[in-house]
Amino acid sequence: MNLDAKIPPGPLAQKWDRYKSNMKLVSPANKRKFDVIVVGTGLSGAAAAATLAELGYQVKAFCFQDTPRRAHSIAAQGGINAAKNYQNDGDSIFRLFYDTIKGGDFRAREANVFRLAQVSASIIDQCAAQGVPFAREYGGTLTNRSFGGAQVSRTFYARGQTGQQLLLGAYQAMCRQISLGNIHMFPRTEMLDLVVVDGAARGIVVRNLVTGDISLHSADAVVLATGGYANVFFLSTNAIGCNVTATYRAYKQGAFFANPCYTQIHPTCIPVSGDYQAKLTLMSESLRNDGRVWVPKRKEDCDKEPAAVPEAERDYYLERKYPSYGNLAPRDIASRAAKEVCDAGRGVGPGGRGVYLDLSNAIQRLGENTIRDRYGNLFDMYERITGENAYRQPMRIYPAVHYTMGGTWVDYGLMSTLPGLFIIGEANFSDHGANRLGASGLMQGLADGYFILPYTVGNYFASTKPEKIPVGHAGFKKAEEDVRQFTRRLLSINGKRSATSFHKELGKLMWENCGMARTRQSLETNLKHIPELREEFWKNVRVTGSGEELNQNLEHAGRVADFLEFAELLCLDALHREESCGGHFRGEHQTEDGEARRDDTNFAYVAAWEFKGADKKPELHKEPLVYEEVHMATRSYK
Amino acid sequence: MNLTLKIWRQKNAASPGGFETHEARDVSPDMSFLEMLDMVNERLIAAGQEPFVFDSDCREGICGTCSLVINGVPHGGRKGTTVCQLHMRHFQDGQTITIEPWRARAFPLVKDLIVDRTAFDRIMLAGGFISVNTGNAPEANALPVSKEIADLAMDAAACIGCGACVAVCKNASAMLFVAAKVSHLNYLPQGRAEKDRRVKNMVAQMDQEGFGNCTVTGSCEAVCPKEINLDFIAKMNRDYAVAVVKGELKANSGGGVG
Amino acid sequence: MNFFMKIWHSSLGKKYIMGISGFVLVFFIVTHLMGNLQIFVGPYWINTYGLFLHERHEILWPARIVLLTMVVLHIWSAFKLRAENQAARPVSYAGNPAPFAASYASRTLMMSGIIIAAFAVFHLLHYALGVRAVNLTGINFSTLQDSQGRPDLYLMLLLGFSRWPISVFYIIAIGLLCLHLSHGMRAMFQSVGWKWTFGGVSHLPDKIARWFALIIFILYVSIPVAVMCGYGKAYKERALQHLTANAISGKESAR
């Protein structure tokens, strides 16, 4: 099968306009005849549901949380990028586009990224109009900050909770449409399968998490906005409920999964304190603007109090290795550098898995009050979790899995290889390549939801005119039976181990062997152990309770079952990609001084995997990455 | 450390509930409260018993999902802290801890420690938005908003909708939540056009949901993990009075010939 | 009427009624205090004031009607709100702990209110209606007259507070009233929408309410305390001798 991204012809800057001018339209009177299912109500899902409903489509929205407002987009702290050039510092659509492509280590699709940069400015307008309380100057205009090592100030933010404020904006837009009867909202409902009829996505099977009822929903298009799969590592900064189930089951129904090995490790998280830990907490990267990262030069100093290590005995390794970017080096580079020093035995804190993020210089220079104004909430959070006062001693940080760039393969119109199945936000693969830049995740989610999907879904309807399929159709009945069977099977094993214990074990394998650095050997170890673990899971998992009630244990077991299969795909992808790029670092492919070595000759493509059946190796399809406007360059932050 | 936990167990809203006592052994002071409960649940599963269900998601104090009453205080009563960020170092070895769900008529119990907070969503549906379609928006800087107003709106918008204000209030009043939501949008110039409608409809929905009345005890402010203050309730009271009087004036002035 | 029903049916509306009726009652408490404090200026002043009030029916009766209406509204909305509040929180937490961070005054508003209402009834019987049975002196207060033949309010107060159980009850009731006010006024300001942070002072209405309540308490209580400490003793004894003399002569003349 040839992967056709259906990128419109013409110069890069005109592609999206051309698409919009040439696309087919659904007349206003006909829009209400089309049903759209949106699964997930984070930034992209809520924005899409609201916008589609505003246009007149009949929308059904689903989320597993108790209200759409709690999706994990809410936890994003830092901000959202947009090429507004309000600061007059030379920003432009092209620059945002180029930074994103370069940040993604030239593994993203050029046309998608350019479109993202183009619509970025409208996002800010839209959000401001919705009442998102962005930070402002005294003059009343919006303010910006520089974020994640960008050389222009293009990041808009709302105190330390930009994600929550943007999500509330989208949620409020949804509320309006729910009250108008254009969206039918299903909270505490989890999608358990995709229904494919005649090769097109036509509906979903869901489980009501309160009553356990399984129900079927038919639609003309299904939109998955179900986020990333970082929880395959068990410990990540994602919410407890984040899972791969929706996209993985879509993959099993025929939607190709692209680049699963591109996972982002965020450098500034609070280190793990014990094996009971359920998740990791991220501290905004903005701390690196004023903080200096260091470890002791000598192993013997690692157990000393940080203040007892004299200045000359400290290794400010980011400043040493990357003099021009220093402590602001991109996420993948800063993370790997931390791992390196800890692997060398110079890590600090419990288990030697931590480095210092020291703001004492900034406190001396600017005074404690200024620092409190800037980062007070982060210092408070750090103290709540660790019990340590970061005004008195440096914070300890360590990288943690944070975001996944890979996802379901989509074409330019955000449609997967299954007609009628659209994937948006973190769940798709398209815009961040092998590494995501800070403050770009929110931008992509909202761009997809507000400004791209509503057009492309219309184009799909107008050009294919799908027929209605009733939920009594055999395809639906089969999907329902499969789901019931799956649930019954989980409940009937009645083994000895909890789903969590499997999840933890899987996470450990993934983190050790497929985390910040991967090698052929480590990946092969995983490819051997993961199927064994999966086999044990299906023999020995214990799921208490029944399927006809609220059963968190059952929900989790189902998600872990999918992670156990998905992890193998991730490792397979990582193994096949014999290069280092962005979040994917292969030990075999590095320069002499330990930097990533990309292989543009052999690997400048999107790896899209097709499910071939249980216990069969998935088939690899390649979408070549063709750069018309930019040249692939080596990323250097030295 | 070792603790004795008295945890509320209830199969569903229809069946009666009661406390179960469990011992939590070898609790690390660095655990979060929810991690301690995870551990208890894991041990229950290992012993073939049903684990307790409780709501949680982000576990970093922002999604507002977690909702436990610890020793009579929602979120445990530490300043600006949700229960997911409450750590065991604040408890003593040997202590008995009572864990209950949010209690309010408007938050019916679902199971064990989980309640249904969709009443908050319905209040939002009544007017907690600015009516602007995607694509309608003017250039963001075309409408300046003074920093003071933007900051005030942000203070209100910090609400995570957890419902602790209702849970702690002896009257189960939702005033702090509704006031935060109303104020966030009513302060901003973008939200002015619908100011009166919004406050009237949201208050009416709040009343309909069966929340109690505000007696200004200040419990909500003290327990709010985002430290939202009572000023916003005053602001809503004012907005509501203005809206009601204005509405009455308009109604009395007649609708003209149209 | 529709407008008032709308207000009555809304939770915020009932709080407005509570707050506004409360405000009128606070106004009364202040004017009443002003009147009473004239005791420290001497019998002439306070008795002139008393006579003025008694003779001006066009002021007295409207004022009484307004006050009574306010009392009824205040109590009625209090009970209505309370019923709603109890319905909203049918289950309390284990061990029934005191509501977190709520002040004593805020938790006991209903109780202090009821006791104050009971006291108010006694107070009216005691002074306004002059029911002899409740004043513990055996003297009919409504017959007291000063040297100019006016009702002797001054003497009435001196006699009224000369019995310690009454003074103690009075002081306790005033204490409860001020406890009630310290929270009630705070809630009143809040209900009508007065912001808490003002001119850089946070929780301003709260502070104002507390200080106000304290001052009211000191001033009201100063009267029974002064009387029990011997204020106006000479006047009282003189008047009592006069009363006894009158009584004797009255008896004799009756004989």
Which ipTM did the prediction report? 0.96
Residue A282's Cα: distance from chain center in Å?
14
Average pLDDT of span C223-248: 88
C16 occurs within a structural domain = yes
Give the CATH number, domain containing residue C138: 1.20.1300
- Please indicate if any CB of chain C lies within 8 Å of the CB of B83: no
On whether the CB atoms of residues C163 and C137 are closer than 8 A, the answer is: yes
Residues facing residue A186 across a β-bridge? A62
Residues facing residue A397 across a β-bridge? A355
B258 occurs within a structural domain = no
pLDDT digits (tens, 9 = 90+) for A549-594: 999 999 999 999 999 999 999 999 999 999 999 999 999 999 988 8
Higher pLDDT, C2 or C164: C164
- Please indicate if any CB of chain C lies within 8 Å of the CB of B173: yes
Cross-chain Cβ contact A129/B132 below 8 Å = yes
Confidence tier at C253 by pLDDT (50, 70, 90) = low
Q: Examine the residue annotation and report whether A331 is marked as an active-site residue of this protein.
A: yes
Share of chain B above pLDDT 70, in %: 97
H, E, C per residue of A37-78: EEECCCHHHHHHHHHHHHHCCEEEEECCCCCHHHCHHHHCCC
Whether the pLDDT of residue A323 is over 80: the answer is yes
What pLDDT is attached to residue C250? 61
pLDDT digits (tens, 9 = 90+) for A179-197: 999 999 999 999 999 999 9
What pLDDT is attached to residue C252? 59
- Is B22 in the same domain as B133? no
Cross-chain Cβ contact A70/B57 below 8 Å = yes
Chains that touch B (3 or more CB pairs under 8 A): A, C
**The architecture CATH gives domain A474-601:** Up-down Bundle (1.20)
Each domain of chain A, given as residue ranges in start order, spans: 266-402, 474-601
What pLDDT is attached to residue A260? 98
Cα Rg of chain C, angstroms: 22
C180 occurs within a structural domain = yes
B242's tokens: 């203005």
Closest of A369, A358, A375, A370 to residue A307, by C-alpha: A358
B41's tokens: 């649940």
Average pLDDT of span A409-416: 98
B244's tokens: 């009601």
Chains that touch A (3 or more CB pairs under 8 A): B
What range does the domain containing C213 cover? Answer: 2-86+106-244
Average pLDDT of span B163-169: 97
pLDDT digits (tens, 9 = 90+) for A151-186: 899 999 998 899 999 999 999 999 999 999 999 999
What pLDDT is attached to residue C255? 53
Give the CATH number, domain containing residue B24: 3.10.20.30
On whether the CB atoms of residues A120 and A97 are closer than 8 A, the answer is: no
pLDDT digits (tens, 9 = 90+) for C47-106: 999 898 888 889 899 999 999 999 999 999 999 999 999 999 999 999 667 889 899 999
Cα distance from N-terminal residue to C-terminal residue, chain A: 42
- Is B167 in the same domain as B107? no
The pairing of strands B18-24 and B3-9 is: antiparallel
Residue C10's Cα: distance from chain center in Å?
29
Cross-chain Cβ contact B87/A384 below 8 Å = yes
Q: Among residues A331, A396, A577, A635, which one is catalytic?
A: A331
Secondary-structure percent of chain A, ordered helix, strand, coil, rounded to 5:
45, 15, 40
Confidence tier at B253 by pLDDT (50, 70, 90) = low
What pLDDT is attached to residue C244? 81
The pairing of strands A35-39 and A221-224 is: parallel
Candidates C10, C97, C196; nearest CB to B230: C196
Structural domains in chain C (count): 1
Indicate contact of A with C: 3+ CB pairs under 8 A: no
Among B111, B141, B167, residue at a domain's last position: B111
What pLDDT is attached to residue B256? 42
CA distance B213 to C83: 10
B32 occurs within a structural domain = yes
Whether the pLDDT of residue B117 is over 60: the answer is yes
Would you mind telling me the total number of residues written for chain C in this entry? Answer: 255
Chain A contact set for B125 (CB, 8 A)? 175-176, 178-179
CA distance A366 to A368: 7
Among B111, B126, B151, residue at a domain's last position: B111
Candidates B168, B217, B235; nearest CB to C107: B217
C221 occurs within a structural domain = yes
Whether the pLDDT of residue A264 is over 60: the answer is yes
On whether the CB atoms of residues A72 and A45 are closer than 8 A, the answer is: no
Cα–Cα distances in angstroms (integers) from residue C147 to residues B28, B174, C44, C138, in the given order: 84, 62, 10, 21
Whether the pLDDT of residue B257 is over 60: the answer is no
The pairing of strands A355-358 and A221-224 is: unpaired
Confidence tier at B255 by pLDDT (50, 70, 90) = very low
Q: Which of A1-5, A323-327, A419-423, B166-170 is predicted least confidently?
A: A1-5
Q: What is the pTM of this model?
A: 0.95
Structural domains in chain B (count): 2
Cross-chain Cβ contact B130/A129 below 8 Å = yes
pLDDT digits (tens, 9 = 90+) for C158-209: 999 999 999 999 999 999 999 999 999 999 999 988 876 667 777 788 889 9
Which backbone phi and psi does A462 adopt, to 5 degrees? -70, -30
- Please indicate if any CB of chain C lies within 8 Å of the CB of B71: yes
Cross-chain Cβ contact B48/A544 below 8 Å = yes
- Is B83 in the same domain as B192? no
Chain B contact set for A128 (CB, 8 A)? 137, 140, 143, 190
Q: What angle do CA A309, B87, A66 make, to 5 degrees?
A: 130
C168's tokens: 């103690």
Confidence tier at C1 by pLDDT (50, 70, 90) = low
Average pLDDT score, chain B:
95
What pLDDT is attached to residue B33? 97
Cross-chain Cβ contact B213/C14 below 8 Å = yes
- Please indicate if any CB of chain C lies within 8 Å of the CB of B10: no
Average pLDDT score, chain A:
95
Q: Give C82's Cβ-side CA count (13 Å radius).
A: 14
B9 occurs within a structural domain = yes
The interaxial angle of helices C11-37 and C57-88, nearest 10 deg, is 140
Closest of B213, A361, B78, A344 to residue C85, by C-alpha: B213
pLDDT digits (tens, 9 = 90+) for A416-458: 999 999 999 999 998 999 999 989 999 999 999 999 999 999 9
Chain B contact set for C100 (CB, 8 A)? 72-74, 77, 168, 219, 222-223
Fold of A266-402: Flavocytochrome C3; Chain A, domain 1 (3.90.700)
C124's tokens: 């009216």
Amino acid at A551: N
Whether the pLDDT of residue A89 is over 80: the answer is yes
B54 occurs within a structural domain = yes
The shortest C-alpha distance from B209 to chain C (Å) reads 9
What pLDDT is attached to residue B248? 75
CA distance B70 to B18: 15
Cα–Cα distances in angstroms (integers) from residue C96 to residues C91, C93, C201, in the given order: 9, 5, 35
Candidates C87, C93, C101; nearest CB to B100: C93
Residues facing residue A361 across a β-bridge? none
Candidates A65, A125, A380; nearest CB to B138: A125
What range does the domain containing B21 cover? Answer: 3-111
Cross-chain Cβ contact C6/B244 below 8 Å = yes
What pLDDT is attached to residue A49? 98
Q: Of A31, A43, A55, A70, which to mutate for an interface test with B (greatest number of B Cβ within 10 Å)?
A: A70
Whether the pLDDT of residue A44 is over 60: the answer is yes
Q: Give A617's Cβ-side CA count (13 Å radius).
A: 8
Question: Which stretches does DSSP call E strand in chain B?
Answer: 3-9, 18-24, 69-70, 73-74, 96-100, 109-111, 114-115
- Is B122 in the same domain as B211? yes
Cα–Cα distances in angstroms (integers) from residue B178 to residues B140, B165, B183, C190, in the given order: 27, 10, 8, 15
- Is B79 in the same domain as B35? yes
Higher pLDDT, B94 or A637: B94
